Structures are given as C-alpha cells and as structure tokens.
A and B are shown apart, each in its own frame.
Chain A
C-alpha cells in the first residue's frame, strides 16, 4: 500500500489568524466546505462553507488561535462544475495565509481540472484534500 501523502503547512504561533482562501479560475463554479480537525484528524473543531463566487476568490479567517492549531488539520471538499458549455477547464486552488503572506507549504494545493461536467447537468467533480498545521 502506498505511503500517505501528508502536506505540511507552517504557521506562526501569533495572534494573527490563519486565513484560508479558495480560488477558482475559468467560467467554472467552485464551492466548498472546510473543516478544522483536531490532532486526531477526525474530531471537528470548526467548519464553514466557502464559495469562490463571481470573482473567483473568497477567504475565511480560522477562528481558532494559531497556537492551538499545531498538529491540527485543515481539510476541505471543493465541488466544481462548469458554468459554460464552451469552457470545461479551469484551476482551483486553496491558499493558506497569515499576515497576508502565504504560509510555507510542502506542496501547493492547486489543481488544473479538465473535463468538468456542466453545472446544469447536476454533476460535479469533488476535490477532497487537506493539510496539517505545524507552528514554526
């Protein structure tokens, strides 16, 4: 069985909240639910919906203090579909930042999606992923 692929996200243990940004490029629609999980990777600490919307970008500040996020997880399920029959490709990205600066991360959380189903058809493609926080 292949090894797990843990993506680490480094944050500063300051009072400045960690911000999760969802970005979508193209005539596509991307909306998600995010979860902050405890160290065990299963207990839900916080959850919120987020939609990239018309501008293709939206963000949310995590309520939990960065110091308490160490070894905790941020996971998401992004549902993506195409708004326009002529354009069924795009890019989806999750950016985690603090102090307005992207946090160092071991693997960029960006997906170039192709062959997206039409939203009008009622189908989507899910992107279910996450990162583990580590304080510097």
Chain B
C-alpha cells in the first residue's frame, strides 16, 4: 500500500476515533438533542493547546507551547515543509480521558477547591503520527500526556462569573408557571430540550469576562515516541526512540496579550538529553492569533526565532501556521533550515467554557 494512502487512512482513523470518543461522551443525548443544534454549540475558543503527541515529536507549529486548559477531544492534521525538502503530513488526536471515561466533578466549587481533580479534568492524552520524509513507508509516532495546573482564563475558576448564566436560566423558567395539573401529569417531569433565550449570550459574556483576568497558565507534558520502520508495530521495527518532558506556561493580561515560556528536556537514541528554553509573545483576537517566539536549542546551541499565526476558518476549526528555523544535519554538516508547519485543529466538542 502506498505510504500516502496509509497515512491518509491513519489520519481518517484518528478523526473517526475522535468522533467516536465524542459520540461516547454524548451517547445519552438521544431524544433530547434537537436536529438543529445551534452552531455555537460546536464553536471552539481561543487557546486550544498544541497536541502533546506532536510536541513529543517536536513538530508543533510553535515551539513555545501554551499552558491553557484541555479540550475534551481535539484532532489535528499536520503539514510540514522544510526548505529544500518534501512535504510531510501527520495526524494527532488528543483526548481528555477523565470525563471520557466517567470521571466527575461534583460542582464548580469542588472544581475550584480540589487541585488534583482539576488537574485530572484538564489532563490530555495524545497520539500522533508523522510521515518520514526520507522513508515514506515509515512513520514517526508520539504518545504524550499533558497536565494543566492553572489557567487564569478558565471561567470555572472565577466566582461570580456564572451568576449571569443563572439569571438567564431563571428568566427562562419564569415564563410559564407550573400549575398543579402539570405538576401531577404522568411522567418524570423532565421535558424536552428547548432553546432558552439569552442563555448562549450569558455564557459568552462569562467567557469574555474570564478573558479579562490577568494571570498565569501552567502545564506540564511528558511524551515518548519513536520511528516505526515500514509502519509495522513491533519491537524489531521500532527505532530512534525519543522522549520529551516540558513545562510550559504563559502570563496573560487583558484579553489580547500573552507572554509564553517553555523549558523542555529532550532525549533520543542518537543524542543524549538536551534542553530547550524559549520565550514568546502572542496577540489574541476572536478569530485569529499571532505570535513571535525565540528559543534556544541546547542540542544545536542555536537561537531559533519563529512566528506563528492561527485563524478560525470554520466553527471549531483553526488553521495554524508556524515558521521556524531548525538545525538539520546534512552530510555531517549542521545548518539552520527554515521550516513551515501548518496544522488544522478540530475541536468537535467545542469546550464551551474553556
């Protein structure tokens, strides 16, 4: 089977897995979900974090990663071009396993008070594959986990912001009094899903208010990966094993500005542990974000500048582009190469409050 087809099939499989995973989370909706759900239900927010699987493989469009809270399910498709090289593709699926597999949080206050449960709720597990540019029949794979410790823009963390949601719900309940006849009608009393005027706006207002808070976001990640010769999963075909651990974070002030930073350790079978540190700045808008970054790569002993942009191209879908320099060794000579990475990020659940 041609490698391009194989990669495409893997990408499709990952997307399907994401869909199934999301479907599992929503499987109980059945009768209560209307056929014409508002499109805002699928809208994602800013700050969809980079895939930990891609981070493990070192192929994220930005090298300075975010610390923002996890989304339930995110699928990413990667396209990467190196100056003078071929296009290579990749795919990743990130899931938040805590909720997907039955984890619960008792209420918003408990979410705020219990740091461990909050970290669990914001833990992402990620699987990623990237096509090898030289041996197109083979794949690099990465498995990563990312834990978020704090995010100043997490709306659930700010007492009082959700009172406007309560007010909207109350307004919807007061419309038609429940008479004794209705209260005693056969059945459970649980009605069908219906539109509550002003509710979506109240949630958006709470989210907007949360974005105005200044503060830190901090996340830690750990990942392992390798190279699968001929894309066969076996111990014999596994090569070029690698590992990464990172601590990323940012400080936001106001709605649009954020400074990002990262400290990363990386190891591989060919090179011993080395460090990378980086700083970045981002300007965020409703449908776009732009950033500049500078990182120091301890392996090549080089400063590597970069720039990245993100655009919301459809509800829940972001196009991400990053231009960076990276050290590449050709015929024993290490030279900096320009690398363009693009990624489509699809957040089907549209984690509405994060």
Contact = CB atoms under 8 A, between A and B. Distances in A.
A83 B162 contact: yes
Interface in B159-173: 159, 162-163, 165-167, 169-170, 172-173
Interface in A88-104: 88-89
Interface string A120-136: 11111111111110000
A27 B178 contact: no
Nearest to B185: A4
Nearest to A80: B169
A20 B72 CA distance: 35
A87 B99 contact: yes
B299 interface: no
Interface string A60-96: 0000000000000101111111011111110000000
B287 to A, nearest CB: 17
A83 B156 contact: yes
Interface stretch (B197-205, B210-218, B300-308): B197-205
Contact of B121 (A86, A114, A121, A129): A86
A75 B169 contact: no
Interface string B84-117: 0000000000001011100011111101100000
Contacts of A51: 163, 166-167, 169-170
Contacts of B172: 79, 124
Contacts, number: 247
A15 interface: no
Interface in B134-184: 156, 159, 162-163, 165-167, 169-170, 172-174, 176-184
A41 B179 contact: yes
Q: Name the interface size band of chain A.
A: 35 or more
B191 A128 contact: yes
A31 B37 contact: no
A54 to B, nearest CB: 4
B184 A55 contact: no
A5 B181 CA distance: 10
Contacts of A80: 169
A30 B188 CA distance: 17
Nearest to A125: B193
Interface of B: 25-26, 28-34, 37-38, 40-41, 43, 71-72, 96, 98-100, 104-109, 111-112, 121, 156, 159, 162-163, 165-167, 169-170, 172-174, 176-186, 188-197, 199-204, 207, 349-354
Interface of A: 2-7, 24-27, 29-33, 35, 37, 40-42, 44, 47, 49-56, 73, 75-81, 83-89, 111, 113-132
